[in-house]
Structure 1
Amino acid sequence: MMTQMEATDAVVAVTGILFIWVLVTFLYRDYRIDLFRQRMFAERDALFDYAAEGGIEFGHPAYTLVRSTMNGFIRFADRINVWGLAATAHVYGSVKNDEESFSAQFTSATKDLTPEQKDTLVKAVNRMDMHVLDQLVLGSPVLILAVIPVAAFLIVQALGKEAGRRVLRRAVPRRWSLAVDSFALDYGTETAFA
């Protein structure tokens, strides 16, 4: 039989879990979509400003290609996720041939640009792609939980053991690591003599 205190704890726990579920499922997702759109609007505005200052003609095929691609990302921001990417790559990848791909069209459209113009557009495309990658990874709470620990592990492995220890020492407050070390020592000592 549950006591009144246990029942209250259960209700509070379930309410907390539901709150976290709503936060992750709806609010965080909407926040990430809005953030992505805002960043893409900023990139598109910067591209527009570059053209308005005379950097490139508004009607140039390279400008319209990049701007249209940014508009597409803004419009379909709610569909940018890992599953959407996989489905798009599978379906759209088999429909589009190489000459119709963004890369081929971009290469063709930038042939007659000056090196400065081409560099500006390449940087805009790179920033656009980084925003998409950011949205893919950070837009999914499940992917965050899967990718961040693996990435951290791989970074520490790549840095080497000593560099990994230095990073860990800076990332974890000394008193925490001492407490954990002390606990492990106590636990290990108890186990050794048990």
Structure 2
Amino acid sequence: MITHTIIFYMLLAAIWCFFVWLHYDYRIDVLRYRLFLLRDKLFAFAEDGKISFDDPAYILTRTIINGSLRFAHRLTLTDLLLAIWVQKKHNKNIQDQYDTHFEKCMQNLNLNQKKKILALHNEMHFVMLAHLGLTSPVLFPFAFVIKMALNFHLLNERRMLNKAKKGLKPFDTTIYDLGNQTAIA
């Protein structure tokens, strides 16, 4: 009976080690790889002359992606919830400032440019939500089931993103602030 208990706890410890170290490091690498792909898409869009490298919407999107890349290792559910709580508690108008800045950046774009920039933002949100779900021990079972449903086309990814967009506004604001810190430093 004692050997079964010892084996059980050793297996539990092995699973925990796998999830905390190996799986988490792998998921960070996947997140950064996908963010680099998004940044490459944005660069290619500008390189093709479809948007200017100096356009405020390009700079905003690049800043957010760069901030996400730099702080990808700190993207955890706990850190995200804490950052949103601190932001709401201590700097209530930062969300309005970001929304105003985002709208100002988007106002001079044509329809195709707006679609591309918004598509890149949506894809970034999806990548980050998938990372959060697949690295959080609490969300992992749900995220795994949702990921399998998406892989088998049982759920519509775009519809899920549209529903999740409202909750992601503080997320963008926090990342934009982090991205600006990298530009200053």
Q: TM-score, normalised by structure 2?
A: 0.69
Q: How does 1:133-144 map to 2 (within 5 A)?
A: 133-144=129-140
Q: Secondary structure at the match of 1:55?
A: coil
Query: Higher relative contact order at CA 8 Å, sep ≥6: structure 1 or structure 2?
Result: 2
Preserved CA contact (<8 Å) 1:50 1:56 = yes
Contact 2:31–2:72 under 8 Å retained in 1: yes
4+ long deviations beyond 2 Å: 9-18, 147-151
Q: Give per-residue Cα distances to partners, 1:36-95, cap 9 Å, x unaligned.
A: 111111001100011011011111111010010011111111221221111111112342
User: Structure 2 vs 1, CA of residues 55 and 96 (structure 1 numbering), >3 Å: closer, same or farther?
Assistant: farther
Which residue in 2 is equivalent to 1:111?
Answer: 107
Q: Which amino acid aligns with 2:73?
A: D
TM-score of the two chains, using structure 1 as the length reference: 0.66
The gaps in structure 2 that reach 5 residues or longer are 147-185
Gaps of 5+ in 1: 152-194
CA contact (8 A) 2:133 2:143 kept: no
CA RMSD in angstroms comes to: 2.5
Aligned CA distance change for structure 1 residues 142 and 99 (closer, same or farther; 3 Å):
closer
Pick from 85, 91, 94 the counterpart of residue 95 of structure 1: 91
Q: Percent identity?
A: 34
1:13 Cα offset (Å): 3.8
Question: Which residue pairs with 1:169 in the alignment?
Answer: none
Q: State the alpha-carbon separation in 2 of the partners of residues 123 and 149 from structure 1.
A: 24
Pick the aligned partner of 2:14 from 11, 15, 19.
Answer: 19
Q: Which amino acid aligns with 1:27?
A: L
Q: Name 1:74's counterpart in structure 2.
A: 69
What one-letter code is carried by the residue in structure 2 that aligns with 1:139? T
Structure label with greater radius of gyration: 1
Aligned pair count? 145
CA distance in 1, matches of 2:29, 2:42: 20
Which residue matches 1:183? none
